[in-house]
Structure 1
């Protein structure tokens, strides 16, 4: 008996400012697709300009899903997004559409396709004790309690070192052991056609700088001002950690001048794009095509 053909899932990924959104829309127009957001900042409705969400004109060209659908007061996670994205993928297939995932948040993509490690909730007391440690002390403790993780992680990577340490202390198992038992991924059930945009870095960084300049001029400052005025959005909310928010906030309080804030935001964006560039080059399946000038007919044609 022949094996049933898997439903198609197109995926366009890449660093910020790589042009992936425009390509995803063009692809969706060609193949009858639904564009599904896979960017952690673009889920928040509070940040349309600063997160570079598609314009209303772009959204009118093809259906868009999971853009600006989360309130800034909510602390969204990769797991919550993946559940929403899996539902949108199923809905697209049920209506005869091709889901076109687009984004630059690697953790979101991996969680959706590969599943998530079923790590239990961490005891708040354990978490508080670990997060209170200086990163050097946390890494030293990790060297004793989970040597493999300590060897794998950079000694100054505050977030990842703390996560590995709190997991092994709270559960008695290394984080890697939990990650080896991922659950909930949809990757095995779909035919993933992945395309990763990797422009040359000089071009990419120039686009980052130009886009930040436009964001500051075209409403980004007003977005941050409105966000900061909300008493229900905690200071440590994920939406307030989006690139550009802290820099504009410093400008609004007089800590930085406008030019200084813009320069700082541009630098932060370039650094983020560099990290994304490295991640996409090294972490994704070998069969996904990495390129600067994609051929949509070749990689995503309806009959291909």
Structure 2
């Protein structure tokens, strides 16, 4: 098989703090591969510690595409990710290398593999009206409205996820249809490509929780609070923006606002990370064709390489 005929695509997934990035970097060293990040927080510049973004030394060894794309005051949609990811996959293949997509944003993985619906664009008037309602009623009330109209979509959205709640209600206002119906019509995903799906995860929930707590503590020792302080000092940033609602950033922002003590902020950041991992695992367990690798297995790199090589035969 020539490089131009190789349609393998490695999807290396896992809950937060599971060790998937380290495995991806090991595979780059053993395969002629390149990494594409699938992380909705790593796309933002100046958000390095709290997103566990690979540092300059790591990037020199294993460059990551699709990080540092946006200023934290800007937005980045799943549709933009799909377009960018497709471009990077084509570039990597044209260079004769194997694309390895790794990250924890299930929305991005789903949008890429399953396709996107033909959804309406932004409507600032509708968004302004929804934002005004949220100011009065709260986003939880708007989430409840969405749940009544489209339970399937609402079940996948956290009641505090203002951006996605607003988007789903905007779609209904503009089309008169439920988002789940529009999504079901879908556009082409990755049909015809050989997907090698692998999930890296600790063997037990307790082990995952320990890893999450240890990583959050490490981030704090590396200067996460200082990183958030710099963002907090910017007049153009607040908690309404998707970037600042990222796990860890939101909780420490509340510390700097005086709404939480530092200890409470750290504790809530760890809890939010565990809740994120639970949501990630719910989706990952639905993938019937995924190969699961235990985080603490010393043979993971060899096992993953064998799975990838087998897909190429």
Q: Same fold (TM over 0.5)?
A: yes
Report the equivalent of 2:264.
Answer: 260
Residue 150 (1) aligns with residue 154 (2) = no
- d(CA) in 2 for partners of 1:43, 1:233: 16
In the other structure, the counterpart of 2:11 is 11
**CA-CA distance at 1:246 after TM superposition:** 2.2
SS of the counterpart of 2:112?
helix
Relative to 1, partners in 2 of residues 1:31 and 1:220: Cα closer, same or farther, differing over 3 Å? same
Q: Does 1:195 align with 2:198?
A: yes
**Equivalent residue for 1:40?**
40
- Please say if 1:300 is aligned against 2:303: no
Write the deviation string for residues 151-209 of structure 1: whole angstroms up to 9, x where unpaired: 67449846566654442332122212211232253x11422111012212111110110
Q: How far does residue 212 in structure 1 lie from its aligned partner after superposition?
A: 0.8
Show the 5 A alignment for 1:95-114: 95-114=95-114
CA offsets, 1:205-248, max 9 Å, x none?
10110111111111211111111122233541211111111222
Q: Distance in 2 between matches of 1:255 and 1:128?
A: 27
Contact (CA 8 Å) 1:6, 1:189: kept in 2 or not?
Answer: no
Instruction: Return the alpha-carbon distance in structure 2 between the equivalents of residues 141 and 106 of structure 1.
Output: 21
1:258–1:162 Cα change, 3 Å = closer
Listed as ranges, the gaps of 5+ residues in structure 2 are none
1:66 to partner: Cα distance: 1.3
Cα distance in structure 1, aligned partners of 2:78 and 2:145: 28
Report SS of the residue matched to 2:12. Answer: strand
Using the TM superposition, give the Cα deviation of residue 257 of structure 1 relative to its aligned residue in structure 2, in angstroms: 2.7
User: Does the 8 Å CA contact 1:41/1:242 hold for their aligned counterparts?
Assistant: yes
Equivalence for 2:214: 210
Residues 73-93 of structure 1: CA deviation (Å, up to 9, x unaligned): 211111112211111100000
Taking a change above 3 Å as real, the CA distance of residues 162 and 25 of structure 1, as seen in their structure-2 partners, is same
| Residues 152/108 of structure 1: CA separation in 2 closer, same or farther (3 Å cut) | closer
Q: TM-score, normalised by structure 2?
A: 0.84
TM-score (norm 1): 0.86
RMSD: 2.6
Aligned mates of 2:77, 2:170 — CA distance in 1:
18
- Report the secondary structure of 2:292's partner residue: strand
The 1:257–1:173 alpha-carbon spacing in structure 2 relative to 1, beyond 3 Å, is closer
Q: CA deviation at 1:258?
A: 2.4
Give distance in 2, aligned partners of 1:163 and 1:45. 24
Cα displacement string for residues 95-130 of structure 1 (whole angstroms, at most 9, x for unaligned residues)? 001011000000111112222111112544444445
Counterpart of 1:224 in structure 2 is: 228
Range that drifts further, 77-86 or 91-100: 77-86
Question: Bigger shift: 197-206 or 34-43?
Answer: 197-206
In the alignment, which residue of structure 1 is the partner of 2:252?
A: 248
Q: For 2:185 and 2:238, locate their aligned partners in 1 and report how far apart those are by CA, in whole Å.
A: 33
Worse overlay, 149-158 or 220-229: 149-158
Query: Aligned to 1:71, what secondary structure does the other structure show?
Result: coil
Partner of 1:290: 292
Q: How many residues matched?
A: 294
